[in-house]
Structures are given as C-alpha cells and as structure tokens.
Amino acid sequence: MSEDKTKDQEKEHVRRVRYSGTHPRKFQEKYKELQPQKYAEDVAQIIQKGKTPAGMHISICVKEILDFLLIKPSQIGLDATLGYGGHTQKMLECLRGEGHIYAIDVDPVESEKTKKRLEELGYGADILTILHLNFANIDKVLEQGKKFDFVLADLGVSSMQIDNPQRGFSYKYDGPLDLRLNPEKGITAAQRLNKLSESELERILLENSDEPYAKQIARAIIMEIRRGTKIATTKQLSQIVTNALSFLPAGERKDAAKKSCQRVFQALRVDINKEFEALYEFLEKLPQVLAPNGRVAILTFHSGEDRLVKKAFKQFFNEGLYSEIAKDVIRPSAEECCKNPRAHSAKMRWAIKA
C-alpha cells in the first residue's frame, strides 16, 4: 500500500450534517441552504416559496437602487454596509471592470466570508477594497481630497446574523442573548440588561422601537433580574416578554407578543451597538465624502432610522449641500415582498450632492 493512501486512511472522515425527519429544522442542519453555490437548485426553490434560505441574505430594492445611482464605469463608490455582498456585486457589475468600490462592515465574521465569495467571482483588490469599519467612519475610507461618486447604505440586519442562533438576533431560535454586530467587541445584550434600571429600559424600548407596552415589559424584565434570574438566552427573554402581556385578551395576545418580541430585540440591538449614534455620524459626514453630483441611497427598516435619514437629508438640502432629495420613500414592489418577506418594512430615500 502506498504511503499517500495510508495517510488518507488515517485522516478522520468528517460526516456531512444530517437531520431527522423530512426537513432540516436546526440552523446547523441546513447544509444545502448554507451552500448556495453548491445547491443552487434547492436554494432557488426555497426563494420561490417566499422564504429566505438559512444564512443567506437576499438583497432588497436592487433595481430601484441601481436605477437611482446610475453607476458608470470608472466611478468610485462605497457600499457602507457590505453584509452578504449582494448589492456590492450588482454595483461591481455596473463598473464593467473600470473604477473601484470600497465596502465596509462592522461584522468581522461575515465580511471575511463575503470577501472570499466575491473574490471567487473575480472581484479582487484591483476593483474592490473591503474594510472592517463602522460606517460612522466613512471619512476614513478614502485618502484626503478623494470623493465618492455613489454611496449605498442598507441599514437592515443581515439574514446571516438573524438566522444564526449563536448570534442571538432572533427570538425565534434559542441561543445566547448576544445581539452584537461585532461579536469581538462590547458587551452582550444579556450583560446590558443587568446594568439597566426599569426607567432606562422603558426609555430604550420607547425610543428604539416605539414599543407600546414598554412600561409593562420593562417592569417584568427588571423584576425577573431582581429575583435573581439570569436572562442569558433569547428564549428566556422572549418568554418574559410574552408573560408580561398576559393582561391582554386571549385573542390578541399571541400576535401582540410576537410583535413585542421583535421590537424588544430590535431596541436592545440598537442600544448595545449604538446604531442611532453611528447613523447620525454617518449622515453628518456624507456631504463631505460625496463628489459634486454624487448620489446616495439609504435603505431603512424601522421608523427611528427613517426619521433620522429624512431629517438629515432635509436639513442639508435646506443648507444647499444637496441639490435634490427624495420627496417620498421608495418601497419594494409587491412581487419582491412576495418572494422575500423581509423586504416588507424597507424604505429607500436618496439624495444628490450639490
């Protein structure tokens, strides 16, 4: 027997993840969905059914964004929220091998995966630069004096983050109550809850997600913590939120609890990642980094974000920094929302530098 064959036999055989039943239920078991390049047919069927494959982000308003940005070869652009790289790929295609796109993301885990994916599609360092950076620091991307011809910011949380239970972004899956966009920095949502007073938590729920039952939910969470309960998992928190709404009529309770869980997780995520502060800084710096007639499109997914974008665009338009701004929001088509339910809450606003 040859030496090479002996070495191969000595290597431990790694079995493919299997699942019980007819359909995968756990995130780790969805190996076909997690490998879209290898199982393209299966992924296409899932999308056709109006579902998002596990760990895969379907870009929203792609046509609307490209129609507005009017990207031309040789231009320099920025994707301020790289994520899965779907928007970035489409913008790169518009450059036709000429120009450059810079893409930034605060999540080091997903940005490395996306970099590898785009490199395999032929987009190397000659046309694409990916930086691990918060979009609040857009003024640090280009050398002084250089400007962007177009900028895109998709403020939605990526499906890769939502679907992975280990990231703790969704109440639908049990996992550690983390919620950090960058899992290597800062404190988790579980740690943050232990530092808050009842009034502080109520304020966070109101300001970050317009939660109508903020008072009742904040009281229930803080009471549990005072009893010595360590709220360490997503299921623990969602159960406390659900129990806090037991005063509602039975017919309303299930739907109300679902929506409140979504808002509570959103509010905590916005808080621990300082998302509003980062967005405010991003919007303040935008006019400085855009070239004359440069275009910016921003996708928002909840009212707090949209209010900040609308206010900033209007202010800078009145100051003469923007020559034109969107009068109304642009929404995804009914067909897109049918294929991708996560597009329902998306709103797009745009501005053109004077």
Give the CATH number of the domain where residue 246 resides.
1.10.150
Q: 311 and 251 share a domain?
A: no
Range in 108-112, 116-120, 126-130 the model is least confident about: 108-112
Q: Show Cβ contacts of residue 108 under 8 Å, excluding neighbours closer than 6 positions.
A: 132, 182, 184
Closest alpha carbon to 172 in 245, 242, 272:
242
The predicted structure's pLDDT at residue 167: 86
DSSP lists the bridge partners of residue 218 as none
Q: 66 and 152 share a domain?
A: yes
Q: 145 and 68 share a domain?
A: yes
- Under a CB-based contact definition with an 8 Å cutoff, are residues 244 and 217 in contact? yes
Q: 77 and 129 share a domain?
A: yes
Q: 290 and 268 share a domain?
A: no
How many Cβ atoms are within 10 Å of 30's Cβ, its own excluded? 21
When divided into structural domains, the chain yields a total of 2
Q: 98 and 233 share a domain?
A: no
Tell me whether residue 342 is in a domain. yes
From CA 265, how far away is CA 107, in angstroms rounded?
A: 18
Please say which residue of 272, 295, 319 terminates a domain: 272
CA atoms within 13 A on the CB side of 154: 28
CA atoms within 13 A on the CB side of 197: 3
Beta strands in 43-183 (DSSP E): 76-79, 100-105, 128-132, 148-154
Q: 206 and 289 share a domain?
A: no
From CA 266, how far away is CA 206, in angstroms rounded?
A: 11
Closest alpha carbon to 343 in 65, 93, 91, 28:
65
Closest alpha carbon to 167 in 95, 265, 295, 92:
265
pLDDT digits (tens, 9 = 90+) for 38-48: 665 665 566 56
Q: 155 and 300 share a domain?
A: yes
Q: 88 and 147 share a domain?
A: yes
Tell me whether residue 78 is in a domain. yes
CATH number for the domain including 309?
A: 3.40.50.150
- Under a CB-based contact definition with an 8 Å cutoff, are residues 188 and 177 in contact? yes
Question: Does residue 199 register a pLDDT over 90?
Answer: yes
Please say which residue of 208, 240, 272 terminates a domain: 272
The predicted structure's pLDDT at residue 10: 47
Q: Provide the percentage of residues in the chain whose pLDDT is more than 70.
A: 84
- Calculate ∠ Cα 164-87-38, nearest 5°: 55
Quote the domain boundaries for residue 224: 183-272
Q: For residue 233, what is the DSSP state?
A: B
pLDDT digits (tens, 9 = 90+) for 329-344: 999 999 888 888 888 8
DSSP-derived 3-state class of residue 76: strand
**Residue 172 — pLDDT band, cuts 50, 70, 90?**
confident
Tell me whether residue 118 is in a domain. yes
Q: 265 and 295 share a domain?
A: no
Q: What is this structure's pTM? A: 0.83
Tell me whether residue 295 is in a domain. yes
Please say which residue of 211, 240, 272 terminates a domain: 272
DSSP-derived 3-state class of residue 32: coil
Q: 71 and 110 share a domain?
A: yes
Tell me whether residue 171 is in a domain. no
- Under a CB-based contact definition with an 8 Å cutoff, are residues 250 and 242 in contact? no
The predicted structure's pLDDT at residue 88: 96
Q: 76 and 154 share a domain?
A: yes
Residue 232 CA, chain-centre distance (Å), reads 23
Question: Does residue 30 register a pLDDT over 90?
Answer: no
Tell me whether residue 169 is in a domain. no
